[in-house]
Structure 1
Amino acid sequence: MPSSLPTSLAVSDAITHYRQLRELTVDELAYVLRMLDHPISADALAEMERCARPVTVDDLVAISYALDTTPAMLLSHIPIDMPEPEGPLATGLPGDVDQVELRAWLEGKTTLDRESRVGWWKERVARLRVRSAHHEEQLQGAYAELRELGDLGPVRRIMFG
């Protein structure tokens, strides 16, 4: 699979991933698509999964529906065995757009102009700070519990020997 086409790689791997997740064979997915009036042969689907055949926008929509997911999920999928990307996650986008931001853009939740991207990252940093503070509180609580258990150590040995 050519590494220069990140969106094609994402969609190809996503089709395989969601098809297997739904426990469908290529033939069964082809049958479902035929029932949806968007016939794609099993051979053509296998070629799409190998990134040997392009996926049209019509194919993308029909396959997404047949696999009970969304076009955004297929487009923003990152193959599990994909090495660290050398460039953008999707064709034609800035290289620093991560998967979460890509999916938000695909779903129309953000734009990729400079001002929106700065706002997106500020919001994300704020959410991460809240999450970090929550984890710190949980960690301190766990330490306190362990200290209490440590104080009970000799009592446990006497009672439960």
Structure 2
Amino acid sequence: MSDAITHYRQLRELTIDELAYVLLMLDHPISADVLAEMERCVRPVTVDDLAAIAYVLETTPAVMLSHVPIDMPEPDGPLATGLPNDADQAELRAWLEGKTTLDREARVNWWKERVARLRVRAAHHEEQLQGAHAELRELGDLTLQEADALPVQCLQYRIRDGEHALNQAEFALALTAQRLDNFPEDV
């Protein structure tokens, strides 16, 4: 929670003093010192504090609760005490937002939907990449003669970006499909 407060406060370009002032104006006074203690994980955040801070930072309590710092190493256990060991951040956020439950059937369905979405994303990137290749082929010899021309360079950038996006989508799809295939029976 402490990193979430810091992250979203900085994202909104607010100082601790400014956040404290806005909270005061909303009749939820939290001093800058107390906010600093919350950010350092020295002081716990109440549900009321969480709701008010999330509101001011233009996010939701669920997003703040499910925030995992980008530099946090992969946890050895669950993201939170009492949750399934294999629940990841996206699944946790979906549960916190009431979009899924954490029983086995709902979790399997959630992962199946995730695989389906990734398949659509990969197909979209593949289609975009094929279109860019077709445009480049239509230019024919011009691509060799005018390789430094802006339209040719733009197509080459689109192809390179498309190949990268397709690789990322296919990699995510493979990992997600593998996770679904290996989903534990006892969850």
TM bin, normalised by shorter chain, reads 0.7 to 0.9
Q: Cα RMSD (Å) of the superposition?
A: 1.9
Q: 1:150 to 1:88 in 2, by over 3 A?
A: farther
Contact in 1 for aligned 2:50/2:61 (Cα 8 Å): yes
What is the CA–CA distance in structure 2 between the aligned matches of 1:125 and 1:46, rounded to whole Å? 41
What is the CA–CA distance in structure 1 between the aligned matches of 2:45 and 2:146, rounded to whole Å? 65
What is the CA–CA distance in structure 2 between the aligned matches of 1:153 and 1:58, rounded to whole Å? 61
User: Are 2:123 and 1:133 aligned?
Assistant: yes
What is the CA–CA distance in structure 1 between the aligned matches of 2:145 and 2:58, rounded to whole Å? 57
Identify which of 73, 78, 88 aligns with 2:68: 78
Q: Which amino acid is the alignment partner of residue 117 of structure 1?
A: R
Identify which of 84, 88, 95 aligns with 2:78: 88
Q: Could you tell me how far 1:154 is from its partner in structure 2? A: 6.0
1:52-100 per-residue CA deviation (whole Å, 9 max, x = no partner) reads 2111111111111122211011011121221222222233211221222
Q: 1:120 to 1:153 in 2, by over 3 A?
A: closer
Q: Could you tell me how far 1:112 is from its partner in structure 2? A: 0.7
Structure scoring higher RCO (CA < 8 A, sep ≥ 6) equals 1
Structure 2 residue runs without a partner (length 5+): 148-187
Q: Percent identity?
A: 83
Identify which of 142, 146, 152 aligns with 1:152: 142
Structure 1 residue runs without a partner (length 5+): 1-10
Q: TM-score, normalised by structure 1?
A: 0.82
Contact in 1 for aligned 2:136/2:143 (Cα 8 Å): no
Q: 1:155 to 1:60 in 2, by over 3 A?
A: closer
Residue-pair matches, total: 147
Q: Could you tell me how far 1:156 is from its partner in structure 2? A: 5.0
